[in-house]
Amino acid sequence: MTKADATRWSAVVLGGGDPGDPFAAAHGVKVKPLIPVAGEPMALHVLRALRGSERVARVAYVGPITPALEAFVDARVTDHGTLLSNLEAGVEALRAAGLQPGERVLVVTADVPMLRPDEIRSVLDSAPLDAGLVYPVVRREVCEAAYPGVKRTYARLKDGTFTGGNLFILDPALIGQFLPRLRDVLAARKAPLKLAGLIGPGVLLRLVTGRLTVAALEAKVSALLGVKARALITPHAAVGTDVDKDADLLLAEAALKGAPLS
């Protein structure tokens, strides 16, 4: 039996958003994941990819939903307003829907319509099972080769320049352990002095000067959250490419229709 055969997965899809989002309003929908891409809500592309991966046993969807989306969903969850509250509510909904002991949870945003079933399968099959939290990252050159002209936020590390993925993997048994600490980190992300106090000025200096390694960052995040955290470098550009603006929408339309991207 391979690791892929032995591992069970469930998924939380984060499909909420600000009801006043001008991007969504400009396209005539309540929230961004319902914006059509290639004729269908972008969230539907994500849900279809999850089911097509043949790795995901059940799906909890957080946010407004349509009948087309509902056909792919096992549990519907009302948007609680914040990412971490939605994450917590999604995991609880999975437990109510039959989450099994030892089952891992994939959390994915609903605004990555280019994500394909084989890419999800690849990420899940390569994820280390000894970590409480796994965060895929993508190299800058991979994103720019796949989607010429794409604009992303990158972090320069000693090992390379990376963008964060729009999905991550967690052990639901440990969520109560790391979620309060994660809230503290997110609350400090726009306060440099507070953030330096949390992660340490030495680590922060190495991060901003590009001298921090992936391994050192993993160790610091693990210590901060109180669980083993691992970065997963993935070759799949779609993992790190979401749709936030009209330029991204045009890129996604071209990718899904097989048109040239440059």
Q: Would you state the pLDDT for residue 2?
A: 46
77 belongs to a structural domain: yes
Name the packing angle between helices 175-188 and 83-96 (round to 10°): 160
Q: Would you state the pLDDT for residue 189?
A: 63
In terms of residue numbers, what domain contains 87? 3-255
Number of domains in the chain: 1
Q: Which of 221, 138, 133 is nearest to 169 (CA)?
A: 133
Strands 229-233 and 155-157: unpaired
262 belongs to a structural domain: no
* CATH code, 217: 3.90.550.10
250 belongs to a structural domain: yes
- Contacts for 118 with CB less than 8 Å, ≥ 6 apart: 53
136 belongs to a structural domain: yes
Q: In order along the chain (262 residues), what is the average pLDDT of each group of 10 residues?
A: 60 92 95 96 97 95 96 96 94 95 94 97 94 96 93 93 95 92 77 73 83 93 93 97 94 79 38
31 belongs to a structural domain: yes
260 belongs to a structural domain: no
| Residue 57, both tokens | 């046993």
Q: Would you state the pLDDT for residue 182?
A: 87
Q: Would you state the pLDDT for residue 236?
A: 97
Q: Would you state the pLDDT for residue 187?
A: 76
261 belongs to a structural domain: no
* Phi, then psi, of 162 in degrees rounded to 5: -130, 155
Q: Would you state the pLDDT for residue 120?
A: 97
Task: Give the chain's largest Cα–Cα span.
Answer: 51
40 belongs to a structural domain: yes
